[in-house]
């Protein structure tokens, strides 16, 4: 991409100069200790070229961004059978909402809201004898981070306060769409959400979605090309929960956010970009992350629209 570093640097400076509003997530106590002014960006092209700005090598909690990795794991193992357990429609509700599950008989709207990710964790518990180890090994392989560990302090913090997620698991189980115990499933879910990466690592990890399902550099076949297309479609329509329309409108790329303040966006067949800034808007998405990607895609016209 012509002048990519320059455009990234200018966009970064523009966002830095703006008013910095929002709040760091505090409903998971361990997340509230982060320095809110950190701000990193990394873009990796499908050819492996890398461009960074700011705190691109600082680790942070990727939280719900990891739901995309549970989705790629489950799709690669059971394919379209996943859709017997959940739908792929946008929810238009908050990430941790219970409201649609009652009228929709415990079938989550999509895999990227908490309800859907909890059902995917149930599927992973069915697929593996030691699901926590299997999931970690999988993320290690896709990301190339050989010594990746779960952040057990973050998992424990969420385990102590994750009332809505316990409610979701129990509610879904009452409709028999969870087969394992709620404790097994929420334990895996909290560990999935606890994974930490830097912007550099995150942009690289998601490179397979910009490369028809094959990891860049290693050529690992993470998912089939048609599955990569579907994951991108689900990120586009569901990755930002009740702000998915806003993200499409402002940024125009498939993307996924997390309450740690990270977000990833993909331009299929071109690049993966990770942005991190911990202060969140009222939908739980990074304030600066949204601004950065909006200005970046306005400037470059690197968008799917």
Instruction: Verify binding: residue 70, ligand GLN, rule CB under 6 A.
Output: no
Considering only residues 52, 72, 165, 211, which one is a binding residue for ligand GLN as defined by CB under 6 A?
A: 165
Instruction: Verify binding: residue 259, ligand GLN, rule CB under 6 A.
Output: yes
Q: How far is the CB of 93 from ligand GLN (least distance, A)?
A: 12
Q: How far is the CB of 284 from ligand GLN (least distance, A)?
A: 5
Instruction: Verify binding: residue 64, ligand GLN, rule CB under 6 A.
Output: yes
Q: Which residue is nearest to ligand GLN (CB)?
A: 64
Considering only residues 11, 45, 52, 63, which one is a binding residue for ligand GLN as defined by CB under 6 A?
A: 63
Instruction: Verify binding: residue 276, ligand GLN, rule CB under 6 A.
Output: no
Q: How far is the CB of 168 from ligand GLN (least distance, A)?
A: 9
Considering only residues 122, 158, 196, 242, which one is a binding residue for ligand GLN as defined by CB under 6 A?
A: 158
Instruction: Verify binding: residue 277, ligand GLN, rule CB under 6 A.
Output: no
Q: Report residue 161 as tokens.
A: 């306060």
Phi/psi for 238 (5° steps) reads: -130, -10
Indicate the residue among 7 and 66 with the shorter CB distance to ligand GLN: 66
Instruction: Verify binding: residue 284, ligand GLN, rule CB under 6 A.
Output: yes
What character string, x for contact with ligand GLN (CB under 6 A) and - otherwise, covers 176-215?
A: -----------------x----------------------
Indicate the residue among 95 and 296 with the shorter CB distance to ligand GLN: 95
Instruction: Verify binding: residue 239, ligand GLN, rule CB under 6 A.
Output: no
* Residues at the site binding ligand GLN, with contacts judged by CB under 6 A: 63-64, 95-96, 114, 158, 165, 193, 258-259, 284
């Amino acid at each position: 991409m012509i002048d990519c570093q320059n455009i990234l640097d200018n966009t970064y400076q523009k966002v830095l100069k703006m008013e910095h509003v929002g709040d760091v997530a505090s409903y998971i106590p361990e997340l509230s200790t982060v320095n809110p002014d950190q701000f990193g960006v990394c873009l990796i092209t499908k050819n492996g070229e890398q461009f960074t700005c700011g705190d691109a090598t600082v680790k942070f909690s990727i939280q719900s961004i990891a739901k995309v990795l549970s989705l790629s794991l489950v799709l690669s193992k059971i394919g379209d059978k996943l859709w017997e357990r959940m739908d792929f429609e946008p929810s238009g509700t908050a990430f941790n909402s219970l409201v649609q599950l009652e009228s929709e008989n415990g079938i989550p709207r999509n895999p990227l809201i908490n309800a859907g990710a909890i059902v995917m964790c149930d599927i992973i518990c069915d697929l593996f004898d030691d699901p926590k180890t299997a999931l970690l090994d999988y993320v290690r392989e896709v990301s190339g981070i050989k010594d990746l560990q779960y952040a057990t302090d973050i998992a424990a913090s969420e385990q102590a306060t994750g009332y809505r997620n316990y409610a979701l698991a129990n509610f879904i189980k009452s409709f028999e769409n969870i087969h394992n115990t709620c404790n097994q499933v929420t334990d895996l879910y909290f560990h999935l959400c606890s994974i930490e990466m830097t912007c550099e690592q995150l942009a690289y990890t998601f490179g397979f979605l910009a490369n028809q399902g094959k990891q860049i550099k290693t050529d690992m076949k993470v998912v089939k090309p048609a599955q990569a297309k579907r994951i991108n479609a689900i990120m586009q329509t569901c990755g930002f929960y009740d702000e998915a329309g806003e993200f499409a409108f402002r940024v125009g790329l498939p993307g996924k956010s997390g309450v740690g303040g990270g977000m990833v966006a993909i331009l299929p067949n071109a690049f993966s970009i990770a942005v991190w800034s911990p202060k969140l808007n009222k939908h739980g998405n990074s304030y600066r992350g949204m601004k950065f990607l909006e200005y970046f895609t306005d400037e470059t016209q690197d968008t799917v629209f």
